[in-house]
Structure 1
Amino acid sequence: MASHDLELGVRTRDLVRSFGNRTVLDDISLTIPPGQFVALLGRSGSGKSTLLRALAGLDRDVEGSGTLRVPAKTSVVFQDSRLLPWQRVLSNVLYGQPRSRRQEGRDLLAEVGLTGRDRAWPSELSGGEQQRVALARALVGEPDLLLADEPFGALDALTRIKMHELLRELIARHTPTVLLVTHDVDEAITLAQRVLVLDAGRLTVDLPIDLPAHRDPGEPEFQRYRRTLLTALGVVPAGV
């Protein structure tokens, strides 16, 4: 079970999670300083979402003798926006929050480009707009840790590019610590200050990304990071 850390970052040591005879997380030790944006890559079944769920407190069966410390104010964004279809947009943003935060909810809707849509129903929104609402909901409580599980995985390529820019702006404004789970190497390099690779339940790569805030995939340094990560994921043979 996660405990809360006054330092507002993330710290795990020797975490283990098994499903039957299969070990999905194998002695995971990880420290994320406050305010750092980290992306987590890995093949399907590598344990990425399992680790995120453990950090979110959604998996109570994590084992090990080590520590699991996260901030008390933690929020999660999933690939599915998980909006309540019977609630209007502003009510979705404020779900779990006191009604006194209505203005903060409207302000967040403005930040995500949905000014005036507070009375809309989720069914009236596009997929990208629904994810904007999910981001507003995740940030309205000013979390110290934002966990994002492939939040743009179901969006088309052009919408993903717009959402990358939006997320970058929101994180710069609200400054939470971020752990983004993704299958997309370019997305990880575009957004993160640090990229981890999880393979067979173990962290095998911890790569700092030293690039300017606005990154061009065509730049040689971007491509160097890309090749390093694709090699670690087994997509590009080593030495090619």
Structure 2
Amino acid sequence: MTVAQGVRRAFDGREVLAGVDLTIREGEFVALLGRSGSGKSTLLRAMAGLDPEIGGQLLVPRRRSVVFQDPRLQPWKRVLDNVVIGLPRQGARERGRAALAEVGLAAHERAWPATLSGGEAQRAALARALVREPELLLLDEPFGALDALTRIRMHALLRELCAKHRPAVLLVTHDVDEAILLADRVLVLTDGRIGLAREVRLEGARQRTDPAFAELRGDLLAELGVADGS
């Protein structure tokens, strides 16, 4: 269980997080939407343990991993060495190879990061996160820099891997459609607090042609202050 209670954070006197309460159950996939500057990534960084100035209470699993929009691969290390960085040496390379196979990069273990496409680099970053078997997987707009077709493939891969490994997941995204397609629950961060929460319980809601998808999309866009012109 991942729990945030009364989480606060201010920058230069401006309160970005104003008492956020959030619970993510084991194996649950939560997507967090919000306007630019709303504090989505600030909350994610707090849960990752990357912000010592955070206020409030956070109860997060010890085993947690983060995937950022930038894959952040070290260019002087080959792909496999990037995946296993920081792991205990015994058995690390075997685990790393298994993780690369899961994301479809088994043939790229000795490649240099500079030779990978954007999608391949993000697959390597995902392998690096999952090889640690995290109880909490934090995703900070990991597909934001990818083209539309690659994003679709990455969505399918992420759903498959999360179903297999069953971590709790927090996805920060600007993309309302992405949130609905991937998450069990979609939240909107407004004025430093969770302003709207919607469950995505019906499989039909994940199909863009289903009326449930359009209804949920409209609700979320309205909360974000955007008219749904689709």
TM-score bucket of the superposed structures, by smaller chain = over 0.9
1:177 to 168, 182, 185: 168
Structure 2 residue runs without a partner (length 5+):
none
Structure 1 residue runs without a partner (length 5+):
1-8
SS in 1 for 2:206: coil
2:25 to 15, 33, 39: 33
SS in 2 for 1:116: helix
1:49 to 35, 41, 45: 41
Runs of 4 or more above 3 Å deviation: none
* Superposition pairs of residues 150-161 of structure 1, within 5 angstroms: 150-161=141-152
Q: Distance in 2 between matches of 1:22 and 1:215?
A: 37
Q: Counterpart in 1 of 2:59?
A: 69
Which amino acid is 2:37 matched to? G
1:116 to 93, 104, 107: 107
CA contact (8 A) 2:180 2:205 kept: no
Q: Counterpart in 2 of 1:4?
A: none
Q: Counterpart in 1 of 2:192?
A: 201
Q: Distance in 2 between matches of 1:23 and 1:215?
A: 34
Q: Distance in 1 between matches of 2:69 and 2:209?
A: 27
2:221 to 223, 227, 230: 230
TM, length-normalised to structure 1: 0.92
CA contact (8 A) 2:204 2:212 kept: no
SS in 1 for 2:43: helix
Q: Distance in 2 between matches of 1:137 and 1:22?
A: 35
1:125 to 116, 122, 138: 116
Q: Counterpart in 1 of 2:210?
A: 219
TM-aligned CA deviation for residue 215 of structure 1: 2.8
Q: Distance in 2 between matches of 1:69 and 1:215?
A: 30
> What do the CA deviations read for 1:136-171 (whole angstroms, capped 9, x no partner)?
000001000000000000000000000000000000
Fraction of identical pairs, as percent: 61
Q: How many residues align?
A: 227
Return closer, same or farther for 1:232/1:214 CA change in 2, 3 Å cut-off.
Answer: closer
Q: Distance in 1 between matches of 2:197 and 2:112?
A: 42
Q: Is it true that 1:87 corresponds to 2:77 in the alignment?
A: yes
Which amino acid is 2:34 matched to? G
TM-aligned CA deviation for residue 103 of structure 1: 1.0
SS in 1 for 2:203: coil
More deviation in 100-109 or 139-148?
100-109
TM, length-normalised to structure 2: 0.96
> What do the CA deviations read for 1:29-56 (whole angstroms, capped 9, x no partner)?
1111111000000000000000000000
